[in-house]
């Protein structure tokens, strides 16, 4: 029996993504609301390595699908296998991280199963026989309460860092169901040839606890080094405002805002960013914002918790040096 709440395990290089663990925690809450097990579904070349962590973080059962072809994520293989398992075992819900992989897969699976997709949710509950979610729209300019209609499994992608990280319990053990892998009959339409890692294995802005972001005030790409040093000292990631990306200073993958990423770090340090509405909507989830800007009238100060009016080329290196000394 493996109805209940499923969590698709996202992993790379033997590491489980944090958002998967957050989804397991959410799974436990949902299972308490509507009964059933929390089931982790893992597709990998070697599934065994993940069992301990999945058990400790809340899985009652693991559906383990192991195959050499699953060395690298494939939307075709994953969607095909998940659809088959879901048709057989009828879960109440299937949770994904709202990550590049989760979004890729959830949209396809939703059509395959004709199942509701609650996309990029920041709250999810089971109430009166329905799943009810909260999800930001227009990049967070408004927040929608949405509900699923119908009986098919509900698919939800959850925003990284929107749900609490569960406390692992040592010694918890999950039941393991090994499930067969069968490739899609039509063959694979897409094949991942290679994964090019971002320089320095950079932490993604959506997953970092601290984001240090720079804008036009940096005056040129070479000065982002100052932000990298501050981010390093705080174990954080470097983000960028749209004008700095449009100027070609930084890669779009680091852009925060309406046409970039929406971030929810504990601390967001905005450096030389004026604070256009398209940027501010990307940081509504940030717990604390520190703004450093030479213009005391910059709109970013209206959103910030702490403000420093000053020359970023003096202030930022001085803070970095002070942290390193501390």
Residues 232-261 close enough to bind other proteins by CB under 8 A = 233-234, 245, 251-253, 255, 258-260
What gap in Å lies between CA 216 and CA 34, rounded to an integer?
50
Nearer to other proteins, 24 or 319 (CB): 319
What residue has token string 């991942």? 192
Q: At its nearest, how many Å lie between other proteins and the CB of residue 197?
A: 4
Site string for other proteins, 82-111 (x = CB under 8 A): -----------------xxx-xxxxxx-xx
Which structure tokens are listed for 283?
């940081």
Q: Which stretch binds other proteins (CB under 8 A): 23-31, 33-41, 85-93, 301-309?
A: 301-309
Report the alpha-carbon distance of residue 316 to residue 277 in Å, rounded.
Answer: 24
With respect to other proteins, which residue has the nearer C-beta, 75 or 183?
75
Give the residue with the Cβ less far from other proteins, 176 or 309: 309
Q: Smaller CB distance to other proteins: residue 64 or 269? A: 269
Q: For other proteins, which stretch binds (CB under 8 A), given 21-29, 54-62, 164-172, 283-291?
A: 283-291
Angle subtended by helix axes 312-325 and 224-233, to nearest 10: 20
DSSP summary character for residue 294: S
Whole-number Å distance between alpha carbons of 152 and 112? 11
Contacting other proteins within 146-185 (CB under 8 A): 146-150, 152
Task: Kindly report the backbone phi and psi dihedral angles of residue 197, in degrees, each rounded to the nearest multiple of 5, phi listed first.
Answer: -75, 145
> Smallest distance from the beta carbon of 1 to other proteins, in angstroms?
25
Residues present in the chain in total: 326
The one segment of 27-35, 49-57, 196-204, 216-224 that binds other proteins by CB under 8 A: 196-204
**Degrees to nearest 5, angle at CA 155 with 149 and 157:** 125
Per the structure block, which two tokens stand in for 233? 């000292």
Q: Which stretch binds other proteins (CB under 8 A): 33-41, 53-61, 87-95, 193-201?
A: 193-201
Please, which residues have CB within 8 angstroms of residue 194's CB and are 6 or more apart in sequence? none
Longest dimension (CA), the chain: 62
Give, in order, the Cα–Cα distances in Å from 301 to each of 73, 177, 185, 317: 42, 53, 56, 21
Contact track, other proteins, 37-56, x by CB under 8 A: --------------------
Q: Which stretch binds other proteins (CB under 8 A): 1-9, 39-47, 213-221, 305-313?
A: 305-313
Site size toward other proteins (CB under 8 A) is: 95
222 versus 314: smaller Cβ distance to other proteins? 314
DSSP 240-267: E-HHHHHTTSS-GGGBBSTTSB----SE
Q: What distance in Å separates the CA atoms of residue 203 and residue 49, rounded to the nearest whole number?
A: 23
Q: Considering only residues 25, 36, 91, 116, which one is a binding residue for other proteins as defined by CB under 8 A?
A: 116
Among 123, 181, 303, 313, binds other proteins (CB under 8 A): 303
Q: Which is nearer to other proteins, 46 or 251 (CB)?
A: 251
Residue 14 binds other proteins (CB under 8 A): no
């Amino acid at each position: 029996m493996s109805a209940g709440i499923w969590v698709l395990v996202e992993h790379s290089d033997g590491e489980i993504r944090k958002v998967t663990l957050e989804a397991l925690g959410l799974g436990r809450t949902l299972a308490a609301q509507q009964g059933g097990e929390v089931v982790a579904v893992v597709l990998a070349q070697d599934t065994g390595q993940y069992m301990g962590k999945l058990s400790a973080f809340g899985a009652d059962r693991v559906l383990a699908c192991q195959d050499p072809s699953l060395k690298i994520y494939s939307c075709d293989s994953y969607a095909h296998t998940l659809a088959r398992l879901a048709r057989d075992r009828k879960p109440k819900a299937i949770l994904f991280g709202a990550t590049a992989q989760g979004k890729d897969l959830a949209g396809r699976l939703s059509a395959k199963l004709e199942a509701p997709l609650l996309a990029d949710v920041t709250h999810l509950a089971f109430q009166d026989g329905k799943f009810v979610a909260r999800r930001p729209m227009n990049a967070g300019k408004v927040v929608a309460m949405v509900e699923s209609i119908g009986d098919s499994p509900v698919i939800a992608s959850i925003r990284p860092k929107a749900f609490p990280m569960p406390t692992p319990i040592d010694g918890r053990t999950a039941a393991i169901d090994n499930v067969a892998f069968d490739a899609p009959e039509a063959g694979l339409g897409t094949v991942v040839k290679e994964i090019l890692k971002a320089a320095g294995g950079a932490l993604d802005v959506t997953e970092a606890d601290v984001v240090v972001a720079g804008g036009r005030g940096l005056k040129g790409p070479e000065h982002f080094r100052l932000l990298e040093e501050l981010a390093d000292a705080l174990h954080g990631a470097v983000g960028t405002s749209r004008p700095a990306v449009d100027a070609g200073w930084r890669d779009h993958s680091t852009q925060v805002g309406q046409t970039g990423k929406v971030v929810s770090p504990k601390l967001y340090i905005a450096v030389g960013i004026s604070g256009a509405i398209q940027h501010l909507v990307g940081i509504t989830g940030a717990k604390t914002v520190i703004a450093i800007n030479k213009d005391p009238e910059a709109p970013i100060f209206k959103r910030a918790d702490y403000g420093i009016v000053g020359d970023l080329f003096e202030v930022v290196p001085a803070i970095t040096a002070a942290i390193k000394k501390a």
